[in-house]
Amino acid sequence: MLSHDTIATSQCPCHHKEELNPGTKQSVSMATRTQQLARPKPNHLRCPDRRSVYWLDKMPQDRTESTTRIELTSRWSNIAQSKNFYNQVMISPIWEVSQWALRAVPSERLCSLAQPRRPVADWQPSRPFPAPLSRGAQTAVASKRICQLAQPKRRQVQVGPNSRFKPRPLTQTAAKTSARIALLATPKRNHPKYEEERSAYWTVSRAAQSCTASYRIMELSCPKYEKLLFDDYNPYVVSHAALSACPSARVKELSLPLPRKCISKEFSDK
């Protein structure tokens, strides 16, 4: 299908001049491109109810039936059918054997496969438990070394469940600490003027009970009252004392910027 732009380009005399006169090809092409861009864009909203994905020159007729009619093949209709499951119930696991199976004669290969596997030549069956003792083991007499090894090891009892104390071997003798280690092991004593923690409950003295608080103490004991905006409070008002204050030489020195951050006038002019 040819568009309007293609038909207009084929009928335009400038298009034929391009082929005849190649020298003016650039100027003619620019004029054709300008005319093409000057045309208004087509209004695609003339057919707002477009019922197909393809562009139609005319509106389709109203249909009461479905727009697309599908015809199923025999294969599709067969696949669409529900599957019939095997509903036969087995009454008993024992069933009759056919006469052909009773008269069948197995081959040599089947007979060889039906034989159970033989164990390895060095295989021995499991030993019975408890194993019977021989007459020599029953009449044997243990030596002193065997009696010594048969005794359980003596282990020291741990102090706590998470203690890291390791048992000391029997051959190790008890170690003796030196005087320096004994001196370092003694805990430090408290200072003579050290006072222990005060109990949470203590008696109030009679002087504290009969004293009278001053005006300053009463003023400090009152909670702070936050002035809100609707109470005619302006946080940006500067007091008269701050307006009439004179800064000291140290304050003026601290208010100046750092020398390394100041740019000289000669450098800025350049």
Q: 28: number of CA atoms within 13 Å, CB side? A: 15
Walk along the chain (270 residues) in steps of 10 and give the mean pLDDT of each run.
Answer: 46 45 62 86 63 60 69 87 70 81 92 90 83 87 92 71 60 77 91 87 89 91 70 78 91 88 63
Left (φ > 0), alpha (ψ -120 to 50) or beta: where does 232 sit?
left
Residue 24 within a domain: yes
Residue 36 within a domain: yes
Helix axes 13-20, 25-38, angle to 10 degrees: 160
Considering its fold, how many domains does the chain have in total?
1
Amino acid at 186: T
Say what the pTM is.
0.18
Residue 249 within a domain: no
Residue 143 within a domain: no
Which residues contact residue 47 at a Cβ distance below 8 angstroms, ignoring those fewer than 6 apart?
A: 56, 59
Residue 35 within a domain: yes
> What are the CA-CA distances from residue 39 to residues 4, 5, 33, 34 (Å)?
11, 10, 10, 9
pLDDT of residue 17: 42
Residue 25 within a domain: yes
pLDDT of residue 181: 92
Full 3-state SS string of 151-169? CCCCCCCCCCCCCCCCCCC
Residue 173 within a domain: no
Q: 3-state DSSP call for residue 125?
A: coil
Which residues contact residue 59 at a Cβ distance below 8 angstroms, ignoring those fewer than 6 apart?
A: 47, 49
Residue 10 within a domain: yes
Domain that holds residue 34: 4-41
Under 8 Å between Cβ of 28 and 18: yes
Under 8 Å between Cβ of 20 and 26: no
pLDDT of residue 6: 47
pLDDT of residue 110: 93
pLDDT of residue 169: 60
Tokens of 124: 């021995």
